[in-house]
Amino acid sequence: MQHLSSCFCLVAVLVQRVLADAALVFDADDYNSGYYGANPNQTYYSSDIVSPLLQVNEWDKGRTDSDTIRVYQLLIPTPFSNAPYIFLALASPLGTESGPVILRADDLSLVYAEPKWPNAHNAHVGTLHGTDYLVFFEGVQRNGQWAGQCLIYDSSYELVHNITAKGINASVDIHECQMTTSGSVLITVYQPIIYDLTPVGGPPNGELVDNIAQEIDVETGELLWTWRASDHYDLADSYVKYKASPGGWDFFHMNSIDRSAEGNFLINSRHTHTVTYVDGSTGDIIWTLGGKKNDFRDISDGNALSFGWQHHARFHDDDLTQVTFFDNHNVSTTPDCTVNCSRGLHLQLDFEDMTVQVVNEYFHPHSLVTGFMGSYQSTPNGNTLVGWGPNPTFTEYTPDGECVLDVQFDAWAPPSGGRGNYRAFKMDWKGFPSWEPSIASTAAGSALNGSTGSNVFVSWNGATEVKSWQLLRGGTPESVVSLSMLVSRAGFETKLAVKAGSRYVRALALDAEGQVLGVTSIVDLRTNKAVPDPESVV
């Protein structure tokens, strides 16, 4: 929490705000026509990270969910917002910029990227005993199936739990890796089995991809619950025609699991077009929404039950009468659809009359069909954030359906294949990396003998609490102590202009109260190289 006094003094000594990040793009025509390259990106001086250059199609700042981290804007301290960060996990055609990605919601600048995980999906914040963790899936593709782990990192980005499938010779699948509010994690497992496929015209000993839902205790690794789709669904419930395929026929395609407070489960199946509520003790199906065994009557003229190929089904609230999901509605992916476009779908269920109706549907302003992936999140302030899978964008809507944020992280359909994103979230997060902040300089030699000085760039991958940077400089590494200007964070990377005269510099990363969070190494402005730390600093 902020204190009024520290806010005042910080505002008083701020010197300047210099941008180092590339500016956001506000020109959809240029962006989508390839003006910024095939996969628009930006690089940094102080980091090897390559991050997407963002195109802003819509941004009504004041109406998005708590997008301002208003520390400096007002002299009156403002509470931190509910959902000030955007969580993505980019699948990149180039593989060099993928991994979990966190952006600030108030300026869309990069906060964290970890490209060492090439196949990260579903990055989100989970809470265990009141402590927040960064959770995501990471794995590899084998025989058409994903095999990996559900990884749980603490606020210093150290791995604390590595969740694997239990009691089964198969790995965690890509589709779900979700912390619950009761100390467990939900995972999907795709397991090839030999199965009688004669009901769908296959062989009696055919290959089937069975789908298993597992709930696992995060701390003990104990298997708490398991449910197998083939025990409860008929093969003929699938909308995907049987075809012998390497790794088996994927009849069900489970892609999300949610847990209710009483310990039952909401299971989403893309290939049967069903959202199923399952009894946590017996495994029996309590009700089925959609598909061939639907239990509900559509009182929205067919608009509620017309969904299909859907993703990311969640209960909207604790009384379990509303569900939300991303209705792909189609298996192809294109912008500019005219019919059967994809949508974020919010449905109301009535268990007395067994009816379903549309509460809200959110189409993309650019009319998109998303054939796979996609997400729907109800943000803390009641807005809705929709992720569009292989269509490289995320979109936020107010409850009355107005789009107040639409940001692209790639052109619509770049020839080399675009960046996709499985799910998008807006959440709160505090990151205190275990590594130190980075520093780099340009214009070698000029600080000593030129008149233009040097540019020093600082960044700290993953740090959320840095509000300003302070440069220390000196003629020798030992004398890099004199306090210099204070510059407020100006994006992922902040540029500090150094006048000619000092050969050695380093920077301190400060929080909102002026406390030092981290110290960079010392850089020699003559060589632009780091020099050993004389250990006499600060």
Ligand X SMILES: *[C@@H]1O[C@H](CO)[C@@H](O)[C@H](O)[C@H]1NC(C)=O
Q: Is 38 in the site for ligand X (CB under 6 A)?
A: yes
- Strands 343-350 and 311-315, how do they pair? unpaired
* Residue from 7, 22, 41, 492 in contact with ligand X (CB under 6 A): 41
Distance from C-alpha of 24 to C-alpha of 104, rounded to nearest angstrom: 13
Q: Is 525 in the site for ligand X (CB under 6 A)?
A: no
Tokens for 407, please give them: 């940001």
Q: Is 516 in the site for ligand X (CB under 6 A)?
A: no
Site residues for ligand X, 166-225, by CB under 6 A, read 169
Q: Is 37 in the site for ligand X (CB under 6 A)?
A: yes
**Is 313 buried (19+), middle (13-18) or exposed (0-12) by CB count in 10 A?**
buried
Least distance in angstroms from the C-beta of 266 to ligand X: 22
Closest to ligand X by CB, 199 or 445: 445
**Total residues in contact with ligand X, by rule CB under 6 A:** 26
* Residue from 39, 264, 377, 484 in contact with ligand X (CB under 6 A): 39
Q: Is 113 in the site for ligand X (CB under 6 A)?
A: no
Closest to ligand X by CB, 84 or 418: 418
Tokens for 176, please give them: 């779900």
Torsion sign across C-alpha atoms 438, 443, 448, 454 = negative
What residues contact residue 37 under an 8 Å CB cut-off, 6+ apart? Answer: none
Q: Of 411, 325, 332, which Cα lies nearest the Cα of 368?
A: 332
Least distance in angstroms from the C-beta of 22 to ligand X: 11
Query: Distance from CA of residue 49 to its chain's centroid?
Result: 17
Site residues for ligand X, 145-164, by CB under 6 A, read 149, 151, 159, 162, 164
Question: In what order do the strands lie in the sheet containing 438-442?
Answer: 438-442, 454-459, 493-498
- Number of C-beta neighbours around residue 529 at 10 A: 13
Q: Is 334 in the site for ligand X (CB under 6 A)?
A: yes
* Residue from 216, 224, 356, 369 in contact with ligand X (CB under 6 A): 369
Tokens for 375, please give them: 């997400």
Q: Which residue number is nearest to ligand X in terms of Cβ?
A: 37
Candidates 32-40, 201-209, 221-229, 480-488; binding stretch for ligand X (CB under 6 A): 32-40
Q: What is the C-alpha radius of gyration for the chain, rounded to an integer number of angstroms? A: 25
Least distance in angstroms from the C-beta of 227 to ligand X: 20
Helix (H) or strand (E) holding 7: helix 4-13
- Number of C-beta neighbours around residue 117 at 10 A: 19
Q: Is 97 in the site for ligand X (CB under 6 A)?
A: yes
Least distance in angstroms from the C-beta of 299 to ligand X: 17
Candidates 54-62, 89-97, 266-274, 501-509; binding stretch for ligand X (CB under 6 A): 89-97
Cα 235 to Cα 208, 254, 317, 439, 514, distances in angstroms: 10, 14, 32, 58, 62
Closest to ligand X by CB, 378 or 454: 454
Site residues for ligand X, 409-448, by CB under 6 A, read 445, 448
Closest to ligand X by CB, 37 or 401: 37
* Residue from 1, 75, 76, 339 in contact with ligand X (CB under 6 A): 339
Distance from C-alpha of 440 to C-alpha of 460, rounded to nearest angstrom: 12
Distance from C-alpha of 255 to C-alpha of 252, rounded to nearest angstrom: 9
* Residue from 68, 340, 398, 521 in contact with ligand X (CB under 6 A): 340
Distance from C-alpha of 422 to C-alpha of 382, rounded to nearest angstrom: 22
Site residues for ligand X, 459-498, by CB under 6 A, read none
Closest to ligand X by CB, 337 or 480: 337
Point out which residues bind ligand X (CB under 6 A). 37-39, 41, 50, 94, 96-97, 149, 151, 159, 162, 164, 169, 306, 330, 332, 334, 337, 339-340, 369, 445, 448-449, 526
